[in-house]
Amino acid sequence: MVSLFKRSVTEGIGTALLVYFGAGSAVIALMISQGTKPTSSFNIGIGALGGMGDWLAIGLAFAFIIAAVIYATGRISGAHINPAVTIALWATKRFPSVDCGAYVVAQLIGAAIGSFLFAASVGIEAVTVGGLGATGPFPGISMGQAVLAEFIGTFILMLVIMGVAVDRQATPGFAGLAIGLTAGGVITTTGNIAGASLNPARTFGPYLGDLILGGTNHFGNFPIYIIGPILGAVAAAFLYDWLQKE
């Protein structure tokens, strides 16, 4: 097995790419639609392609980069690129505690690096207009509703991960495609509820970047993206284990 240090570096790189290309696609959507009149208060900042068109584009960007990272780094680190996934595997005794802590720290650092690199690539408008793709509840959505949406979205994502990547009887070669498309579908449907983070690190990177680069401090919403994704992933992992047992 590759050393924990190298696996952690790989997780950091993978999460940085996830944030750069995934959250970055949300920034581009916001910048493209800048100045356009939203069709309703529910899709403020999103709508240049017609609301769902924007979310489909963002969802596909996430789908492609997740699949690419899984195929590129899965054999090295497992390509968790998500603290909720790592914690769920640890909770079901598939991952040691020392490795779990190192992976989560690496994922958070990688997410922050991804956000800063995107800001460096695009300029300050990535922060002032796009908010670095920071997630948050949309107008009319309560914190409880946002947590529920994150829980459900991460639940189905983790259930697919268990079936196509963790289960030793899974058909090889399809994990990246299945997991990426699942994430893309969830984002397309639930993005306009709470941003469809499904991943504490994906939210942490833009939040930290916004805070340091002079944008809005979004950390008041961070509990949504810790509680919902982690509980959703853990619940899915335990449910999968229960369902497959005779």
Range with lowest mean pLDDT among 30-39, 171-180, 228-237:
30-39
- The helix or strand, by DSSP H or E, that contains position 182, with its residue range, turns out to be helix 175-194
Q: What is the mean pLDDT of residues 151-172?
A: 95
Q: What is the mean pLDDT of residues 202-230?
A: 97
pLDDT at 47: 58
Please check the confidence at residue 32 and state whether its pLDDT lies above 60.
yes
**Tens digit of pLDDT for each residue in 36-93?**
666 666 665 565 555 778 899 999 999 999 999 999 999 999 999 999 999 999 999 9
pLDDT at 43: 62
pLDDT at 66: 98
Q: What is the mean pLDDT of the chain?
A: 93
pLDDT at 201: 98
pLDDT at 49: 58
Count of CB atoms situated within 10 Å of the CB of 228: 26
For residue 226, which amino acid is it?
I
pLDDT at 164: 96
pLDDT at 48: 56
pLDDT at 236: 98
Please check the confidence at residue 246 and state whether its pLDDT lies above 60.
yes
Q: Which of 19, 215, 222, 216 minimizes the C-alpha distance to 113?
A: 19
133 pLDDT band (50/70/90 cuts)? very high
pTM: 0.93
Compute the Cα dihedral for 67, 17, 146, 240 and give only its sign.
Answer: positive
35 pLDDT band (50/70/90 cuts)? low
Q: Which of 103, 132, 131 minimizes the C-alpha distance to 14?
A: 103
Q: How far apart are CA 32 and CA 4, in angstroms?
A: 41
Q: How far apart are CA 110 and CA 150, in angstroms?
A: 21
